Amino acid sequence: MLEDRINSKFEHASFKLREDLLNGGFTEICQTLYKGVPYEHGLNNAARINVGLDIIRTLSRHYGLSAPIFIDNSEAVTQLMDVDAQLIALVVSEPDKQLRVEPVGEQHKEAI
């Protein structure tokens, strides 16, 4: 029941909180999953980043907090999930030899 209640709060991430043992008992665990695939085994970078954003978004809403989120290797993601926070996407760009900052979105036109 606890596992279902926690998992209902997340859009992409789910959590496995116990593992059944052969002797009929169980052991407590906390394993993050995406569509049944363990976070640490078998997910590509895009799925890992979006699962992480889902966890951050859910905890931010629960605690009423918002902080900037740095996303490294964001070139691996074609579609980042929506988050009510400032996203700072770090992207590898071969032609750029120096750090370049590009504000994105309507609210940043004045900053350019």
With 0.75 as the threshold, say if the pTM is over it. yes
In which band, very low, low, confident or very high, does the pLDDT at 105 lie, cut at 50, 70 and 90?
low
Q: How far apart are CA 39 and CA 33, in angstroms?
A: 5
pLDDT tens across 65-83, in order?
999 999 998 888 888 898 8
Q: How many Cβ atoms are within 10 Å of 50's Cβ, its own excluded?
A: 21
Question: According to the model, what pLDDT value does residue 57 have?
Answer: 95
Query: Within a 13 Å sphere around the CA of 35, how many CA atoms are in the beta-carbon half?
Result: 6
pLDDT tens across 49-66, in order?
999 999 999 999 999 999
Question: According to the model, what pLDDT value does residue 107 have?
Answer: 53
Provide long-range contacts, Cβ within 8 A and 24+ apart, for 6-12: 9/58, 9/62, 10/54, 10/55, 10/58, 11/54, 11/57, 11/58, 11/81, 12/50, 12/51, 12/54, 12/81
Q: Amino acid identity of 95?
A: P
Tell whether the model's pLDDT for residue 24 goes beyond 80: yes
